[in-house]
A and B are shown apart, each in its own frame.
Chain A
């Protein structure tokens, strides 16, 4: 049972480039979410989804897009990367009402 899988684990981008962070879970969880972790800031919610076809914004959604076409996958897209988006990104999933399972994170650096 793989749990929550995030790819890539590390990525370096140039300002203005676009990319997609992948997140997949094999636990049939309805709820999936993306957080970013910055030094001294804790984790902050970017976007979340309560099921396939349903997404909503979290606390810091600007500059990011998401979609949920399947229960298993919840990719996070950076449309035009900015240095302010340098961070560690975590994907999480859960069954409604149960504790969330986190992926191992993606460290993203934008030059």
Chain B
């Protein structure tokens, strides 16, 4: 079974600075997807970024980018120019690309605080 580990339960960053959230995962599969979700206090689950394992190029979405290291099974999220609205819980998630499986496996999450 696949597992996702977020080892840092909390982090803080100063507004306008850069922060990196770490995530590691364990799988025996070669084809899969990785995601970062943001959950603000409103409780919504918001997709931040998505990475396909077969793509070597790291995904980027505006101020958000990932460092995907397939061999190391590492998938970190970098937030540049942090804003107060980035304060939230962040979840790393894994999904197999095999057999039409849509099941998401989540890490335990990390609380990000942004200080003004």
Contact = CB atoms under 8 A, between A and B. Distances in A.
Contacts of A92: 45, 104
Interface of A: 31, 33, 35, 40-45, 48, 50, 58, 88, 90, 92, 94, 96-97, 99-100, 102, 104-105, 107
Given A43-B91, A88-B43, A90-B45, A99 B106 contact: no
Given A50-B100, A96-B100, A102-B44, 17 more contacts: A35-B104, A35-B106, A40-B9, A40-B109, A41-B108, A42-B107, A43-B93, A45-B104, A48-B103, A50-B102, A92-B104, A97-B102, A99-B50, A104-B44, A105-B43, A105-B44, A105-B45
B84 interface: no
Question: Which 6 residue pairs are nearest across A and B when measured between Cβ atoms?
Answer: A102-B45, A42-B106, A42-B108, A43-B106, A31-B102, A105-B43
Contacts of A50: 100, 102
